[in-house]
Structure 1
Amino acid sequence: MEEHNANPLRFETNPYHNIVIKDRKVMELTGVKQIDSFDANEFLLETAQGWLMIQGKDLKLGKLDTERGDVIINGIIEALSYVSNKKGNAKETMMSKLFR
C-alpha cells in the first residue's frame, strides 16, 4: 500500500475509543479522529485517547467510516502503542528507532 503523507485524513468522531483485534489479522478501531500516515508496515492514527502507532506486516486499510470514526486494518498485527500527543514527536520517535 502506498504511504499517505500529503494531507492527513481527518474526520469527526465520537468520544469513545475501542480496539478489537481478531486473530492478530484484523483490527477494528472506534474513536479515530484522523489517519496521519500509513504504509504496509505502520499506521499512525489520532484517536479520542491520543496518538496510536500500529506496526505489522502487509497492513491494509480495510474500512474507513469518516462519519463514525471507525477504521478496520487488515494484515499481521505485531505491535500497537500510544505515543506522545504531539504528532511531530511521534514521527521523530519512529524515525529514531529506524536508525538506531
Structure 2
Amino acid sequence: MYKTERETNQEHDVKLMNRRKLEITGVQDVDSFDTEEFLLKTTLGYLVVRGDNLHMKNLNVDQGSLTIQGKIDSFNYIDDQQDKAKGLFSKLFK
C-alpha cells in the first residue's frame, strides 16, 4: 500500500554531518533565517538551528526537506509558542 502525500510529510529526521551540514526532513515552513539562526516549523514542532555562517543549501517544499550548511553550534525544539516569541524578541531587544 502506498503512503499518501500527507503521511509521507509526517516523517521528521535530522542528520548532522561533521557539524558542517544539517539535513532535515518534515519541514513545513522556514519562519526566519540569517547567518546565525534558522527558525523552522516541522511536523514535530518548531526547531531552532544556531551556528556561524549558516546558509540554506537545498530547500524542497514539496518533499519538506532542507539542507543547512555552515558551522552548526546547536539545534533544539521549542514546544511552547511563548518560548518561541520570547527567544525571537529577546534577541531583538538586547
TM-score bucket (shorter structure): 0.7 to 0.9
> Residue 85 of structure 2 aligns to a residue in which SS?
helix
Instruction: From the CA coordinates, give the structure whose radius of gyration is larger.
Output: 2
How many residues get paired? 87
Considering fraction of residues, name the structure with more helix: 2
The ranges of structure 1 where at least 4 consecutive aligned residues each deviate by more than 4 angstroms after the TM superposition are none
Q: TM-score, normalised by structure 2?
A: 0.83
Q: Distance in 2 between matches of 1:28 and 1:64?
A: 10
Gap regions ≥5 residues in structure 2: 1-5
Q: Distance in 1 between matches of 2:36 and 2:49?
A: 8
Gap regions ≥5 residues in structure 1: 1-11
Partner of 1:6: none
Give the root-mean-square deviation of aligned CA atoms: 1.9
Partner of 1:55: 50
1:18 Cα deviation after fit: 0.2
1:14 and 2:9 correspond: yes
The correspondence of residues 15-94 of structure 1 with structure 2, limited to 5 A, is 15-86=10-81, 89-94=83-88
Letter in 1 for 2:84: A
Sequence identity percentage = 34
Residue 76 and residue 93 in structure 1: after superposition, are their counterparts in 2 closer, same or farther (change >3 A)? same
> Residue 12 of structure 2 aligns to a residue in which SS?
coil
Q: TM-score, normalised by structure 1?
A: 0.78
Letter in 2 for 1:92: K
